Amino acid sequence: MGLLVNGQWKDQWYDTDSTNGKFVRDDSRFRHWLTPNGEAGPDGQQGFKAEAGRYHLYVSLACPWAHRTLIARHLKGLEKLITVDVVHPLMLDNGWTLASNFTGATGDSLYQHDFLHQVYTRAKSDYSGRVTVPVLWDKKTHTIVSNESADIIRMFNDAFNEFGATEGDYYPKNKREEIDQLNNWIYDHINNGVYKAGFATTQDAYNEAVMPLFAALDKADKVLSYQRFLTGSDMTEADIRLFTTLIRFDEVYHGHFKCNIRRIADYTHLFGYMKDIYQTQNIANTVNFNHIKTHYYASHKTINPTGIIPSGPQYNLDTPHGRDA
Ligand SMILES: N[C@@H](CCC(=O)N[C@@H](CS)C(=O)NCC(=O)O)C(=O)O
């Protein structure tokens, strides 16, 4: 675990000393937009033009943020248009590595780099900041378009519609306000909430994160007791974003991140909802529990010094979810 400082790799764990033991996530630094014709994106700057085969994703199958982009790529049928490399699940002294000696890890098919930080310095030689996945890469200009999953899934939603992307709008105009509100709330309390609990280094910081996390899960369970998805009968990006945390919850957050007041399996509606999404259009194929468990339990040595990976839980996520009723 480390970061780049003026293009130089520095091995260091998250600094929680200056924040009273609280984990504070850095903002993503590359926030450009991929648009149908290269017109400006929401940031107001010149966009990158959507083209078949031009863009590439670097992902970790363990990472909930990167997982969102794989689901969006899959649901929109962009597999033929956007290539993917998968990092090794262990993130140790050199950060994410592009080694292929683990099932499902691919190495770097573009530049044969050993480490993801080399991809960042290829884009910006004096880059300072964290080296995170996902990365949306432009093979034509050899640079990073974006390293922010929330933006990437939105680009995938509509940038490639003229290139034969699968129909489906996960950010429909009439629901944008509602989705934005849900996203903010889910990000703060749930997606990032598990990290705030898990990476806390004081009891107070942990308590401050874990209570709102479970209050938010309770609330989501209630909402899902009367409708199939968060905004009604159709899946939107808010559901994709919640799903990638839920699917990791009982496997890693419950034990490793000490989020153990309840399991997702204890929630009637959330558990069925999670299975519903898992079973939708082969989303199950984007879920890799081996990468997920190996990454968290064996990379975070400050939390789990032995690196032992627990064997449970052993759920069958293919059983009927009953949500269509
Ligand atoms: N805001 C980013 C967060 C991405 C992120 O934090 N990814 C984690 C993996 S789950 C990472 O690469 N962490 C490495 C680090 O923080 O050094 C996004 O949603 O894309």
Task: List pLDDT tens digits, range 202-258.
Answer: 999 999 999 999 999 999 999 999 999 999 999 999 999 999 999 999 999 999 999
CATH code: domain of residue 44: 3.40.30.10
Count CA within 13 A, CB hemisphere, residue 145: 29
Domain holding 246, by residue range, is 173-280
The pLDDT of residue 309? 97
Ligand 1 neighbours, Cβ below 6 Å, are 1, 28, 60, 63, 65, 130-134, 147-150
Retrieve residue 20's tokens.
């009273």
**pLDDT exceeds 90 at position 317:** yes
Examine the domain organization and report whether 206 and 154 are in the same domain: no
Query: Closest Cα to residue 25, out of 245, 200, 217, 212?
Result: 200
Query: Do 13 and 141 belong together in one domain?
Result: yes
Ligand 1 atom at minimum distance from 149 CA = 20
Q: Are the C-beta atoms of 133 and 65 separated by less than 8 Å?
A: yes
In a domain, 317, yes or no: no
Whether 226 is a known active-site residue: answer: no
29-59 pLDDT tens trace: 899 999 999 999 988 888 999 999 999 999 9
Q: Per the structure block, which two tokens stand in for 27?
A: 């903002």
In degrees, to the nearest 5, what angle opens at C-alpha 153 toward C-alphas 4 and 232?
A: 140
**Residue 1, pLDDT score:** 79
Ligand 1 pocket test target in 9, 87, 133, 252 with most atoms within 8 Å of CB: 133
What does the DSSP 8-state code read for residue 251? I
- Rounded distance between C-alpha atoms, residue 59 and residue 277, angstroms: 21
Instruction: Reply yes or no on whether 259 is catalytic.
Output: no
136, 163, 190 - which closes a domain: 163
The answer on 127 and 209 residing in a single domain is no
- Please pick, among 63, 253, 273, 297, the residue that the annotation labels catalytic: 63
Please compute, for residue 44, the number of CA atoms within 13 A of its CA located in the half-sphere on the CB side: 0
Residues 158 and 215 in one domain: no
Q: Are residues 146 and 190 in the same domain?
A: no
**Test site for ligand 1: of 130, 155, 187, 294, most ligand atoms within 8 A of the Cβ:** 130
Q: Is residue 291 part of a domain?
A: no
Q: Which strands sit side by side in the sheet containing 2-5, from one edge to the other?
A: 8-11, 2-5, 129-130
- Residue 60's nearest CA partner among 25, 23, 91 is 91
Q: How many of the other CB atoms lie within 10 Å of CB of 128?
A: 14
More confident residue, 287 or 13: 287
Mean pLDDT score of the chain, rounded to an integer?
96
- Based on the fold, state whether residues 188 and 140 are members of the same structural domain: no
Q: Quick one: 234 and 140 in the same domain?
A: no
Say how many Å lie between the CA of residue 225 and the centre of ligand 1: 31
ipTM (interface predicted TM): 0.99
pLDDT in the model for residue 104:
98
